[in-house]
Structure 1
Amino acid sequence: MRRPSLREPNVKRGAPVRFTFDGDLVDAYAGESVAAALLAAGYRTLRESPNERAPRGAFCWMGLCQECTMEIDGIRRPACRTECANGIIVRKGTIA
């Protein structure tokens, strides 16, 4: 489902890129983090907590808290520290 962009229109950005998040296409820009691109695309839940399955999103935006850990091209990584690139495959993460 396409969501309206929440990006500020008057900001200079890198080249457009596109990746998939749980099967949905997401438009992004080179140089921005996966977490920032997902937030701008309207996604708030990046993973679910392991016990209660509660929605979790980005928190510290520095890679310290691990709240935005997702599966990116088959590897668990913090989405706030992973740069967008064409064709990457992103899936919601769970921390066991």
Structure 2
Amino acid sequence: MNRRIEDHPVLGAIKEKQYVAFTFNEKQYKGLKDESLAAALLANGVRTLRHHEESGTPRGIYCNIGHCFECRVTVNGKSGVRACLTPLQEGMVVKSGGKLPTPVRDWRDEHE
């Protein structure tokens, strides 16, 4: 069964089918160059991209077009990257987010 998203509504169609290697949570995967990172993970059977910051519940691909921010990951050290809008490149190092220490502090508490 082909689980690849080869024609993304925002990124467009994949023109060349060239495989590249990347890591997610220190495990090696392969995906198509320029397919969305979310699509590459989904094609490799990865459904959980991060965990909710407060509850710890698993989060994955939801809207797949950049609106919901559920697919936020860290890519090459940069946090908050939307996997659904990030074209896959050779050697990307991707990490999921986990539950934050409790209690999570509201930024407004520091600015009152």
Q: For this structure pair, what is the TM-score category when the shorter chain's length is used for normalisation?
A: 0.7 to 0.9
Paired position in structure 1 for 2:62: 59
Whether the 8 Å CA contact 2:73–2:95 is kept in 1: the answer is yes
Q: Give the one of 70, 77, 84 matched to 1:80.
A: 84
1:69 corresponds to which residue? 72
User: Pairwise CA RMSD of aligned residues?
Assistant: 2.3
User: 1:1-96 maps to which residues of 2 (within 5 A)?
Assistant: 6-7=3-4, 13-76=16-79, 77-94=81-98
Whose Rg is larger? 2
Secondary structure of 1:70 counterpart? strand
Instruction: Note the residue ranges of structure 1 that are not aligned, 5 or more in a row.
Output: none
Instruction: Please report the TM-score for the alignment, with normalisation by the length of structure 1.
Output: 0.83
Cα distance in 2 for residues equivalent to 1:62 and 1:91: 20
Decide whether aligned partners of structure 1 residues 89 and 42 sit closer, same or farther in structure 2, where only a CA change above 3 A counts.
same
What per-residue deviation string (whole Å, max 9, x for no partner) do you get for residues 17-42 of structure 1?
01000011111011200000000000
1:64 deviates by 1.1
Deviation (angstroms), 1:51: 1.1
Over 6 Å off, 4+ runs: none
For residue 82 of structure 1, what is the amino acid of its counterpart?
T
1:52 shift after superposition: 1.1
- Distance in 1 (CA, whole Å) between partners of 2:20 and 2:49 is 19
TM-score scaled to structure 2, two decimals?
A: 0.72
Matched residue pairs, number? 91
